[in-house]
Structure 1
């Protein structure tokens, strides 16, 4: 080999090695902050050394106050989304803090649980239920119990089916028409079809009680402002169709928004109410710029069952050291009680799900660097990606008041 070729080749190898080192994952990790250390201590004193959903009441109250300030300033009533806060006492806290009696419900089962507890509340269904479920609610709850419920209608067929059920049972039908404002998940998109549905409902003596559009796609669009303007145009067109049918818009619910977009509506909207649920507890999927002032107020706490100082790969033990050298965040292994939740590790910082072991709902493995020193019995915290069904997986919710676990809030029965 010529000397020049040798040096060029050697230089290339050095450059390649330097480039590879730049790709090497940085070592991360830190033990619990004071906040999570205090929370872990409170859970230990309460004897909660098992998978537990925790709500920080102080953070929840602060989120309620911030959201109320926004909607009050805009003069927009708020409808609380029950599926995102599926606990009677949690709903009580949010409804009281918001000064609202409006609920959005997404299943017949949850509606049947809430109707006896809040018979005077104003209910709007958040999705169109199968006709048999509509009938089941009437038959189970009774005719008088469903008078304050607006049923979501998304197609002419569902309207005709609901009309038939209402007539057969002798109950009035409050029909809220779902309109497609750009999400394209269903609902009336064609103005002619919407106008025909309105005409058909009036002819059948059904009450057009509202319009509902959902716009969570807006902040994810290349031009959110343009996307939001398009949703407003869709609302305006639908309102125009109702006015053309001589309906009194002031007496009709025009529901819009959701946690990702309610603050856009607060800056200007044709809706006359907004819906919010998840933002009150702010799971990880709701880290939007418009919600930056809100704090995560719900966490999963679970104990470490087993800890390894040198996490080995099954069947590939000789390669474990090389892996740990390359990614120092795989050196330590922590097997937790439970797992495979819709959540991400929150504390200690630097924990990650094992990419090699995969997910597990029994004893999930989280790995970390030697900066994380946990032993069996220590608590790991995860932040839920969403609330909804996840809140129903742990039994009673532990309520942290800043110092101790002060209360236990039962959840609603499991429902889809």
Structure 2
């Protein structure tokens, strides 16, 4: 290669390398998080804490109610808001007394705390869990499960198990039938499958009562658009749901005049349902706290309202990685966002850092649930005792990991909200 050609190639390579070199993405906490940082430095518990912004929560409740189709009711998804005071705050803001539950200890806790609420299971429960609910329900609870609780049934076999339980307890169980509207996670797939279950229910009026349908449409919008548009996916899902309603009314016309629950949707899809929806109530929960997995176009108007805040335990300049090679020094020369090292209290949550800007984990150092390493540029301006803030990727599991939730409003901790119980041994 000629010397001139070599120099040109070398110069071009250096230019490309310089263009690929990361820029400084760091900055101090923006005003919202700086206010939370000062609050928790002065009044925080000195440990990782899950924050709920009550004002943002209230704003999201208003946005949700504005987007419900006319004449439809809202059902609160408890697994996504797993705290009785948090659910009570949503009830106060939305006026809904309906909740969808997914865990037996949750249903006992809600029945005790809100004895006038209406509860619908969002997944079929093993019959042993149903039996335990009745065992743990106090006689004076004020909650009447024969009137206020709907068990979700996905097959004739499960319905027969629940019938046996009803006979043993001498109770009348309300059963809601799960429909497969396209997600293919179970439930009745074809309207004719309804006939056998309805015949069994109708033959046992002292022990079983039909209460409606539930069909979850989380698949809508997940199929690549080149294969099927979101609008077409929703249309098909609603047509399946309507097909079950039509068959019910044709084979058992008396249900036309009875109050039934036709439940569906979810945070990703509730805003897609309009006047044409066959549903008479829509369920959602995550939209109200908006973890990062719900950064969707359908929820663009909603604000994140749940954050993890954790103290910085150690802060130092540079990046000192274990091993004989000074890889950390080279890395900081290349990437200004690796020039400060922070070790936090805890870590490895289903969450991503959100403030200060430019903070990121270090995959070479590895993860830790005890003292996880994060790096940032000097512009992040954090010291020991400052807080790093994270957005959960989801709420239903993460909100159960931190003990009591810190309810924040007007620059102060307004209360501590205990999470829903996970259950104890027999």
> Structure 1 residue aligned with 2:111, among 107, 115, 136?
115
Moved more, 96-105 or 136-145: 136-145
- 1:11 corresponds to 2:8: yes
Q: Distance in 1 between matches of 2:22 and 2:198?
A: 59
> Structure 2 residue aligned with 1:368, among 376, 393, 401?
376
Q: Is the 8 A contact 1:307 1:375 kept in 2?
A: yes
- 1:385 corresponds to 2:385: no
- 1:401 corresponds to 2:409: yes
> Structure 1 residue aligned with 2:248, among 235, 239, 242?
242
Normalised by the length of structure 2, the TM-score is 0.92
Q: Matched residue of 1:89: which SS?
A: helix
- Counting only pairs closer than 5 Å after superposition, residues 160-239 of structure 1 correspond to structure 2 as 160-205=160-205, 206-221=208-223, 222=225, 223-239=229-245
- TM-superposed deviation, 1:66: 1.4
- TM-superposed deviation, 1:200: 2.6
Q: Distance in 2 between matches of 1:198 and 1:131?
A: 19
- 1:106 corresponds to 2:108: no
CA-to-aligned-CA distance 1:311-358 (integer Å, 9 cap, x gap): 111104422222222222222111100111111101001111112122
Q: Distance in 2 between matches of 1:142 and 1:414?
A: 18
Q: Distance in 2 between matches of 1:132 and 1:41?
A: 48
- TM-superposed deviation, 1:145: 3.7
Q: Distance in 2 between matches of 1:219 and 1:402?
A: 38
Moved more, 338-347 or 313-322: 313-322
- TM-superposed deviation, 1:415: 5.3
- When residues 168 and 25 of structure 1 are mapped into structure 2, their CA distance, relative to the original with a 3 A threshold, is same
CA-to-aligned-CA distance 1:355-375 (integer Å, 9 cap, x gap): 212221100111112221211
Q: Distance in 1 between matches of 2:319 and 2:45?
A: 27
- Counting only pairs closer than 5 Å after superposition, residues 137-176 of structure 1 correspond to structure 2 as 137-141=133-137, 145-147=144-146, 148-176=148-176
* Alignment RMSD: 1.9
Unaligned 5+ segments in structure 1 are: none
> Structure 2 residue aligned with 1:65, among 46, 62, 66?
62
Q: Distance in 1 between matches of 2:84 and 2:270?
A: 23
Normalised by the length of structure 1, the TM-score is 0.94
Q: Is the 8 A contact 2:41 2:386 kept in 1?
A: no
CA-to-aligned-CA distance 1:354-411 (integer Å, 9 cap, x gap): 1212221100111112221211101111111111121121111112112211222222
Q: Is the 8 A contact 1:199 1:245 kept in 2?
A: no
Q: Matched residue of 1:158: which SS?
A: helix
Q: Distance in 2 between matches of 1:142 and 1:163?
A: 22
- 1:412 corresponds to 2:408: no
- When residues 103 and 136 of structure 1 are mapped into structure 2, their CA distance, relative to the original with a 3 A threshold, is same
Q: Is the 8 A contact 1:107 1:415 kept in 2?
A: no
- When residues 367 and 396 of structure 1 are mapped into structure 2, their CA distance, relative to the original with a 3 A threshold, is same
Q: Distance in 1 between matches of 2:136 and 2:422?
A: 18
Q: Is the 8 A contact 1:198 1:245 kept in 2?
A: no
Q: Matched residue of 2:124: which SS?
A: coil
Moved more, 315-324 or 327-336: 315-324
- When residues 191 and 316 of structure 1 are mapped into structure 2, their CA distance, relative to the original with a 3 A threshold, is farther
- TM-superposed deviation, 1:125: 0.3
Moved more, 144-153 or 31-40: 144-153
Q: List structure 1 segments (4+ residues) > 4 angstroms apart after TM superposition.
A: none
Alignment size in residue pairs: 412
- When residues 151 and 325 of structure 1 are mapped into structure 2, their CA distance, relative to the original with a 3 A threshold, is same
CA-to-aligned-CA distance 1:261-284 (integer Å, 9 cap, x gap): 111114541100001111111111
**Alignment correspondent of 1:271:** 279
- 1:135 corresponds to 2:131: yes
Q: Matched residue of 2:162: which SS?
A: helix
- When residues 13 and 95 of structure 1 are mapped into structure 2, their CA distance, relative to the original with a 3 A threshold, is same
